[in-house]
Structure 1
Amino acid sequence: MYQSLEQFSKSWIFKRNDPKVEPEDLLQICLLSEQRAAQIWRDYISDEQIHPDHLSDKDWPKKDSAKVPDGKLYWEKAWDSEEASLPDEVLTHFSAWGEDTTVFFCCHNELVFELPWGVFKRTWKAFLFLDNGPILVGKKKKQAAQFHTNGWGNLLFRGV
């Protein structure tokens, strides 16, 4: 179900001093096995496409009905700043989530991380070194977000 973070070719993102991922948070960041990642990707993102770049209008993240009105945000400014917190728009969008809500940071069908929401909030800057369209979803939650390489993101709602 899980594999060692050491197996991840870019595990260095969690070992940097800036942004710093505390050891107790690192213990809660789980890299899913490729089989489990594929299952989460199919269940939460797309059962037809394997990468965010390939999502089509048939996939919920691309549907207009999934987009939050005024839900486009520029995350890179907060990422580049000394401020540790996620942008306010993101925190507001996910305000119904508890600290222990299980979240999946879905990069593509073979690369998915599982962790508690509270840990993601503290370590989000490390995760956004992987900014090629990953989608953040919560287990049995409708709120979601997608982060793009150009520094922009979309707040989304998915059917649960």
Structure 2
Amino acid sequence: MHYIDINAYSRKWIFTHASMPVPAEDLAQIKPLTQARSAILWREHISAQSPDADHFGSGDWPNQDKNWIESVDWQNAWDGDDPALPEALAEFLCWEDNTPVYFCYEKYNLIETTWAVFRRHWKNFLFFDDGPLLIAKKKTQAVWFQSDGTCQFGHRE
């Protein structure tokens, strides 16, 4: 089994918080991965050496400037009333709604969902903004969210 039941997930509250509750039908599509599965995907798609964004080395693709196209502000959109993803990100990530995406907090904490669910509830995912990455396994586009309210988007190797 690759998933943890959402009710057993330590950060479940970010999806059930009274100010931004995720509807049950979408919550069922937010699938925290087990630590073992998270580690495999992190190693394959993010970094073989570093356990989190604070420890990326020079050989890790997120740490290479050539992979990033632009940096944009996400904090203002997060603070606002409009639920839409910042326009620059929505335009860059023109994925199909059913595309599986991975929100990668750190090596042992990844969440799988669909692009449509992430797009609707991106603010919930960013309650924790300590360097998470958004990727899709079969796509090269990636977003790296920073705790200063900005994110970089570009292509992963």
Q: In 1, Cα distance between the equivalents of 2:24 and 2:109?
A: 22
Match status 1:105 vs 2:103: yes
Is the partner of 2:38 in helix, strand or coil?
A: helix
CA distance in 2, matches of 1:65, 1:19: 36
Amino acid at match of 2:108: E
* Distance in 2 between residues matched to 1:144 and 1:18, nearest whole Å: 28
The RMSD of aligned alpha carbons is 0.9
Aligned partners of 1:2 and 1:120: how far apart in 2? 17
SS of 1:3's equivalent?
A: coil
TM-score of the two chains, using structure 2 as the length reference? 0.96
- 1:49, distance to aligned residue in structure 2 (A): 0.5
Query: How far off is 1:65 after superposition?
Result: 1.7
In structure 2, what is the equivalent of residue 116 of structure 1? 114
Cα displacement string for residues 38-63 of structure 1 (whole angstroms, at most 9, x for unaligned residues): 00100110001111110122100111
TM-score with structure 1 setting the length = 0.94
Q: Secondary structure at the match of 1:47?
A: coil
1:1-160 aligned at under 5 Å gives the runs: 1-68=2-69, 71-95=70-94, 97-159=95-157
Structure 1 residue runs without a partner (length 5+)? none
SS in 2 for 1:144: strand
Q: Percent identity?
A: 37
Say how many residue pairs are matched.
156
Moved over 3 A (4+): none
